[in-house]
Structure 1
Amino acid sequence: MSNGCRSWMLKMPYATLLATLLCIIGVGVFCGCIYRVFTLCLRMFDEVFHFHLDWLEPVQLVCMIVGVAMAALGIMILLVGCLTTGSTRARVFRSRPGRARGRTSCAVFMGVAYILQMAWMLMFGVLVIGCVMFAIFWNMCLSDRVQVLQECIDFRQFAFVFPNNTREEDMQVCGAGEQKLFCKDYVENIQVNLVLSAVGCFLVLLSLVNYLMCLAANYAHIKDQEKFVDLSEMQYLQVSEPGTLAKDRF
Structure 2
Amino acid sequence: MKPAMETAAEENAEQSQEKKGCFECCIKCLGGVPYASLVATILCFSGVALFCGCGHVALTGTVSILEQHFSTTASDHALLSEVIQLMQYVIYGIASFFFLYGIILLAEGFYTTSAVKELHGEFKTTACGRCISGMFVFLTYVLGVAWLGVFGFSAVPVFMFYNIWSTCEVIKSFQTNMTVPGDQICVDIRQYGIIPWNAVPGKACGPILENICNTNEFYMSYHLFIVACAGAGATVIALLIYMMATTYNYAVLKFKSREDCCTKF
Query: CA, structure 1 residues 48+144, in 2 after alignment: closer, same or farther (shift >3 Å)?
Result: closer
Check the 8 A contact 2:28/2:119 in 1, yes or no.
no
Distance 1:13 1:90, change over 3 A: farther
1:58 maps to: 86
CA contact (8 A) 1:84 1:222 kept: yes
Contact residue 41 and residue 190 of structure 1 kept, 8 A? yes
Letter in 2 for 1:158: Q
* Corresponding residue for residue 21 of structure 1: 42
CA contact (8 A) 1:138 1:188 kept: no
Matches within 5 A, 1:120-159: 120-144=147-171, 148=175, 149=181, 151=183, 153-155=186-188, 158=191
Decide which of 147, 157, 166 is 2:199's aligned counterpart. Answer: 166
- Give the conservation status (yes or no) of the 8 Å contact 1:82–1:88: no
Matched, 1:212 2:233: no
Q: Alignment partner of 1:30: what SS?
A: helix
SS in 2 for 1:54: helix
- 1:128 is paired with a residue whose SS is helix
Cα 1:144–1:12 shift into 2, 3 Å: same
From 218, 239, 246, the equivalent of 1:187 is 218
Report Cα offsets for 1:150-195 as digits up to 9, x if no partner: 637442763954236523xx22436857743454323332221121
Unpaired runs of 5+ residues, structure 2, are 1-21, 176-180
Pair 1:207–1:69, CA change in 2 (3 A) = same
Structure 1, 124-133 or 45-54: larger mean CA deviation = 45-54
Tell me the amino acid that sits aligned with residue 187 of structure 1. Answer: F
Give yes or no for contact 2:36–2:241 (8 Å, CA) kept in 1. Answer: yes
Identical columns (%):
23
Structure 1 runs (4+) deviating above 6 angstroms are none
- Which residue does 2:25 correspond to in 1? 4
Indicate whether 1:82 and 2:110 are aligned.
yes
* TM-score, scaled to structure 2: 0.75
Note the residue ranges of structure 1 that are not aligned, 5 or more in a row: 235-250
Determine if contact 2:167/2:187 at 8 Å carries over to the other structure: no
The one-letter code sitting in structure 1 at the alignment partner of 2:29 is: W
Amino acid paired to 1:54: E
RMSD of the alignment, in Å?
A: 2.7
TM-score by length of 1: 0.79
* Aligned position for 2:15: none
Q: Deviation string for 1:25-82 (max 9, x for gaps)?
A: 1111111111121111121122223244221110121123123312321211110110
Residue 71 of structure 1, aligned match among 75, 92, 99:
99
Q: Secondary structure at the match of 2:122?
A: helix
Q: Which amino acid is the alignment partner of residue 59 of structure 1?
A: M
- 1:103 pairs with 2:102: no
The aligned amino acid for 1:186 is E
